[in-house]
Structure 1
Amino acid sequence: MTDPADRPHYKRVMLKVSGEALMGDQGYGLHPPTVARIAEEVKSVHEMGVEVCMVIGGGNIFRGLQGSAQGMERTTADYMGMLATVMNALAMQAALETVGVFTRVVSAIPMDQICEPYIRRRAVRHLEKKRVCIFTAGTGNPYFTTDTAAALRASEMACDAIFMGKNGVDGVYDKDPRQNADAKRYDKISYDEALSRNLKVMDTSALALARDNNLPIIVFGLDQPGGFRSILAGEGPHTIVER
């Protein structure tokens, strides 16, 4: 019999991971042990019977906004950032399949030799077959972040919630807890308050999209071992953003 503490509160979830989360203690690129640890986190949730979608940023390799700020044309910079997310997705796929989790990388930009094109019905079928779907290349359009891609795909896949895995923080605070010892963590906050106070839950377009689709956002510390599984079981520090 399953322990009640291990019964997930959600059936299908979107896990958003920043590209920086894959760097480990490096300043750039992929840190294989960190990628492997996150894969184990996903596997532990997958074994609970939860259907898992993922979106991974590309900031550990290239960030479009930074490229644009340095004089590169914004559209080109954003497409380069999308390609960085594909590299991260392939690394995560390899790590997940190493630990026995069947995975599909699904790209908003067709590149048939290395991943599948995004077709909503096919992606839903993968989830129903208990495969982890990693959605990559953002929305396929410049000027949109991977936060927006996560909110969009979570809505299209009818996810129950978006899980924002953070490094160094375990929820939403009124100010940066890494620089302010008196920072206050919210257990629950509304979309509108997060937007009006600019609390950096995710970018404003993504947050508004989640609000409009009544999609809860759970912000937690992905760098805490077992954190993803414990949050799904209703335990551990986190912040819920909802109406």
Structure 2
Amino acid sequence: MYNRVVLKLSGEALAAGRGFGVDGDRVHEIAGEIAEVRDLGVDIAIVVGGGNFFRGVAEQAKEMDRVSADHMGMLATVINALAIQDALEKCGVHARVMSAIEMHQVCEPYIRRRAIRHLEKGRVVIFAAGTGNPYFSTDTAASLRAMEIKADVLLKATKVEGIYDADPVIKTDAVKFEQITYMDILRLGLKVMDTTAVSLCKDNNLPMIIFNMNRPGNIRRVISGEKVGSLVTA
């Protein structure tokens, strides 16, 4: 159903419930699912968070200067991106890490045309270091990169089934939205993605699908057009 997608992964997804660090088995499971999608002929780019190591707005950073803390968070995303790249290449998938902060010995700098060329050659591109700017989350980076590479959809992998009117972990009677508009997310103050990311998708009419990453095969199901998770459109 989709020819080119951006998949947003949280850093916590790589920690497999441990809260900190990278769980090797979990990363290889995710890489296997991404490889399966790549074999369908879909161009796939990944934006990964860094919350399993450091988050600029977390409790651990409250005494720090916000700019310094955000830069530390960006570097954490590079660690995660390299872990995903390694796991993908072990699955036989060519992958490239492109960082918004230049570090030539470790990965390529982000250059839009080069990223598109990698995708056209069948490589998976992993965007690291967010947008390269403090005060912007990796959700916003995912929205921005999706627009830049002309992706058909932004997929956000979470630990719940989709978008709810309340936190389903806390409220068992929370109601799930099968489909919702950007404006409703902003109006209801739903904590799906930060408001900058949602506004960016709204202004450029980029559809988003929020789905549960912890169910095996869900990435393929979403890309194949099955009704999985919550669809966000205009």
Shorter chain as normaliser: what TM range? over 0.9
Give the deviation of 1:178 after TM superposition: 1.5
Match of 1:198 among 189, 202, 207: 189
Give the deviation of 1:179 after TM superposition: 1.7
Q: Is residue 146 of structure 1 aligned with residue 133 of structure 2?
A: no
2:219 partner amino acid: F
Alignment of 1:182-193 (within 5 A): 182-193=173-184
Matched with 1:46 is 38
Matched with 1:170 is 161
Moved over 4 A (4+): none
Equivalent residue of 1:65, what SS? coil
**How far apart in 1 are the matches of 2:113 and 2:70?**
27
Alignment of 1:1-243 (within 5 A): 9-66=1-58, 69-167=61-159, 169-243=160-234
8 Å contact from structure 1 (residues 106, 136) kept in 2: yes
Number of residue pairs aligned between Structure 1 and Structure 2: 234
Equivalent residue of 2:106, what SS? coil
TM-align CA RMSD:
1.0
Give the deviation of 1:67 after TM superposition: 5.8
> Percent identity of the aligned residues?
53
Q: TM-score, normalised by structure 1?
A: 0.94
Q: TM-score, normalised by structure 2?
A: 0.98
Give the deviation of 1:129 after TM superposition: 0.4
For residues 3-40 of structure 1, what are the alpha-carbon distances to aligned partners after superposition, in whole Å with 9 as ceiling and x for unaligned?
xxxxxx10000000000111102121111111111111
1:64 partner amino acid: G
Equivalent residue of 2:21, what SS? coil
**How far apart in 2 are the matches of 1:122 and 1:57?**
22
8 Å contact from structure 1 (residues 227, 236) kept in 2: no
Equivalent residue of 2:209, what SS? strand
Equivalent residue of 1:144, what SS? coil
